């Protein structure tokens, strides 16, 4: 059977669009939840990461502030490392999201991260 790369691309593009809509809806509901912290803490770290990435750091600030240390560690591990080296520019992006809240918020968010 011969592969049809164009068909696969279309299928994956549709899948990606469906996934993005689903993540956006999930994030919107989460941001409107009266018990945001509890709901964020209950998320699998990888699910929380994809929600944040889908809506962007600026829109996801309430989710980031409610994230557990394990979730924050996952965000940094997935975005801020290139092979075995830290990527300072990517780390700066994540740090800046907390820096707007002041030094204490920044320190609280990142003091527990692994080296």
DSSP 41-52: HHS-HHHHHHHH
Cβ contact 62:101 at 8 Å: no
Q: Is residue 62 in a domain?
A: yes
Cβ contact 94:79 at 8 Å: yes
pLDDT in tens, 4-58: 555 555 555 776 666 667 777 888 899 999 999 999 999 999 999 999 998 998 8
Residue 2 pLDDT level (bands cut at 50, 70, 90): low
pLDDT at residue 1, as a whole number: 46
pLDDT at residue 3, as a whole number: 57
Give residue for tokens 């600030």: 61
Q: Is residue 61 in a domain?
A: yes
Q: Is residue 18 in a domain?
A: yes
d(CA 105, CA 27): 22
Q: Is residue 115 in a domain?
A: no
Cβ contact 97:64 at 8 Å: yes
Ranking 54-68, 79-93, 97-111 by mean pLDDT, the lowest is 97-111
Q: Is residue 15 in a domain?
A: yes
Domain count, the chain: 1
Mean per-residue pLDDT for 97-114?
77
Show the domain range for 12. Answer: 5-110
Whole-structure pTM value: 0.75
Does 108 score more than 90 pLDDT?
A: no
Q: Is residue 29 in a domain?
A: yes
Q: Is residue 53 in a domain?
A: yes
């Amino acid at each position: 059977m011969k592969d049809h790369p164009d068909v696969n691309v279309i299928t994956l593009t549709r899948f990606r669009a469906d996934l993005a809509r689903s993540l956006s809806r999930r994030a919107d509901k989460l941001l409107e939840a009266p018990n945001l912290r509890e709901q964020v803490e209950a998320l699998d770290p990888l699910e929380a990461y994809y929600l944040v990435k889908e809506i962007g750091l600026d829109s996801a600030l309430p989710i980031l502030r409610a994230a557990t240390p394990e979730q924050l560690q996952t965000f940094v591990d997935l975005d801020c490392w290139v092979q075995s080296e830290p990527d300072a520019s990517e780390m700066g992006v994540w740090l800046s999201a907390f820096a707007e809240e002041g030094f204490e918020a920044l320190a609280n968010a990142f003091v527990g991260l692994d080296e």
